[in-house]
Amino acid sequence: MTFSTPLTTTGDPTAPGGSVSGPHRGPVQMLADQTYDDHLSVHDDATAASLGLSGAPIEGPTHFSQFDPIAMELFGDEWFRTGCISSHFSTMVVEGQQVQATAVRTGSTSASITATRDDDETVLTGSISVSPHGTTALEERLANRRDPGDLFIVDQLFEGMTSAAPVDTSMDLATPNGPLYPFSLERKLAGITERTPWYDSADNPWGRPIVPMEMLSVLANKVGERWPIRQPSLGLFLDLEVRLEGTPVFVDETYVVEREIVGLSASRRVESYWTRTTLTEKATGRHAATVLLHSGVFKDSYPDYPTDDSDAS
């Protein structure tokens, strides 16, 4: 086992119904200085308060690391070859709160997952799996979404819309990852909830450092042009799935990023859009990872949002 995380098992974790839980952890906030479109994000305390939130939420993918040792316990090294974590974020976490991750085996290559806060609120639900995956939690949510009706913030987007051109991305240990992610991998590893030498040394089956699962969305989203979302407005992650396609994603490797809008949604508080991003190893042309992100935009953050349909022009 590459992680030293103490795990608790209930029943037989190799059989359906058996579960594995990790310890309570206190994730660290690293997005207080995040900016996009020249303004602060919802991860800033004052901005979060302006939307009626109790604090600046920690970025959802931060919780993914608590599932890595659990997934290694269930699936072994295959987790870092074909692993997929598929998650719906239901309650935010602010720094100082504790979170516990649990997985319940559902099949030979799959498990359902839950993360809960120390006040018993559910932080996220979803699935983890290795190939063959079957239907993931987010594939099911995407397929079952309702017609969003009229849209006023993400109305310039449409299903099948693609990024203008592929763009290169990479991640080293020392360089901050831009205004959207103003921290380096080295800084992330200093505060990550579950640590392994596989992330910053050659001490792993591939002989080179690998990017943590929670950082794949950073790698996929830190570069390239933004979708045309009406501004000013504030967004957050609603759902996120990251999937390895047969190989880890490596530190200091260049990947080609391509994006496509695969769905539009809406709820009482947000308008939202689903983006599928592929990471292709530039040197080999090998498809390395896929990231499915459901992004929400707060209606209350857009000053021109109509108060009712009759106000829309």
**Tens digits of residue pLDDT in 190-210:** 999 999 999 999 999 999 999
Q: Is the pLDDT of residue 37 over 50?
A: yes
Name the residue with higher pLDDT: 296 or 45: 296
Residue with tokens 């763009």: 167
Share of the chain above pLDDT 90, in %: 83
Q: Which residues pair with 235 in a beta bridge?
A: 297
Q: Give pLDDT, residue 46.
A: 53
Interatomic CA distance for residues 26 and 78, integer angstroms: 27
Q: Is 123 within 8 Å of 63 (Cβ atoms)? A: yes
**Mean pLDDT score, 159-163:** 97
Task: State the residue range of the domain holding 15.
Answer: 8-311
Task: Tell me the pLDDT tens digit for each residue of 93-108.
Answer: 998 999 999 999 999 9
Structure tokens at 137: 């939690």
Q: Determine the average pLDDT of the residues in 118-132.
A: 97
pLDDT at 35 over 80: no
Q: How confident is the model at residue 52 (pLDDT cuts 50, 70, 90)?
A: low
Q: How much of the chain exceeds pLDDT 70, in percent?
A: 90
In the structure, what pLDDT confidence band is assigned to residue 39 with cuts at 50, 70 and 90?
Answer: very low
pLDDT at 285 > cutoff 50 = yes
Instruction: Evaluate whether residue 3 is within a structural domain.
Output: no
Looking at residue 310, what is its pLDDT?
40
- The verdict on residue 266 lying in a domain is yes
**CATH number where 157 lies:** 3.10.129.10
* 51: pLDDT strictly greater than 60: no
Tokens of residue 290, six digits: 């896929």
Confidence of residue 2 (pLDDT cuts 50, 70, 90): confident
Least Cα distance to 65 among 110, 113, 137, 17 occurs for 113
Reported confidence tier of residue 311, pLDDT bands at 50, 70, 90: very low
Q: Measured between alpha carbons, how far is 132 from 130 in angstroms, rounded to an integer?
A: 6
Instruction: Determine, yes or no, domain membership for 2.
Output: no
Render pLDDT for 56-91 as a digit per residue (tens, 0 to 9). Answer: 688 999 999 999 999 999 999 999 999 999 999 999
Tell me the average pLDDT across 131-144: 97
Number of domains in the chain: 1
Lowest mean pLDDT among 55-64, 91-100, 151-160, 164-173: 55-64
In a domain, 247, yes or no: yes
pLDDT average, residue stretch 148-164: 97
Give me the chain's average pLDDT, please.
91
- Whether residue 142 lies inside any domain: the answer is yes
Confidence band of 261 (pLDDT split at 50, 70, 90):
very high
Confidence of residue 282 (pLDDT cuts 50, 70, 90): very high
User: The pTM is what?
Assistant: 0.92
Here the tokens at position 295 are 């992004």
For the chain, the helix, strand and coil percentages under 3-state DSSP, each to the nearest 5: 20, 30, 50
